[in-house]
């Protein structure tokens, strides 16, 4: 005589363990998916140098940031120019 599948203890135990693992995994993964988002700004730091590698320090510079869509030749989606006088050639800007 065959037993009913719902009365099989091993099957119930395996099903219960599978549900517990699924619930634990989803409780860990779901908050990461909800909180993962793009940062509100992008910090950018660089050193201004001349073509020969010398640092450009204490001189007024105009720096242009350009972001293209999809490729270098794609449409410009963001453009910004800033003027800075970087001490020791190091400048930092938040885009």
Using alpha carbons, list the distances in angstroms from residue 47 to 52, 60, 89, 94. Answer: 13, 13, 5, 15
Whether residue 83 contacts residue 60, with contact meaning beta carbons closer than 8 Å, is answered with: yes
Classify residue 64 by its DSSP letter. Answer: E
Task: Please state the rounded mean pLDDT for residues 13-40.
Answer: 73
Whether residue 78 contacts residue 42, with contact meaning beta carbons closer than 8 Å, is answered with: no
The reported pTM is 0.48
pLDDT digits (tens, 9 = 90+) for 47-75: 888 889 888 888 888 888 888 888 888 89
62, 92, 58, 91: which is closest to 79 by C-alpha?
62
């Amino acid at each position: 005589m065959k037993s009913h599948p719902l009365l099989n203890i091993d099957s119930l135990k395996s099903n219960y363990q599978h549900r517990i693992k699924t619930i634990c995994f989803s409780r860990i993964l779901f908050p990461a998916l909800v909180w993962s988002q793009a940062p509100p700004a992008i910090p950018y730091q660089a050193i201004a140098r001349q073509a020969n590698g010398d640092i450009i320090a204490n001189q007024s510079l105009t720096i242009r940031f350009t972001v293209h869509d999809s490729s270098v030749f794609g449409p410009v989606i963001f453009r910004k120019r800033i003027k800075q006088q970087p001490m020791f050639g190091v400048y930092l800007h938040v885009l």
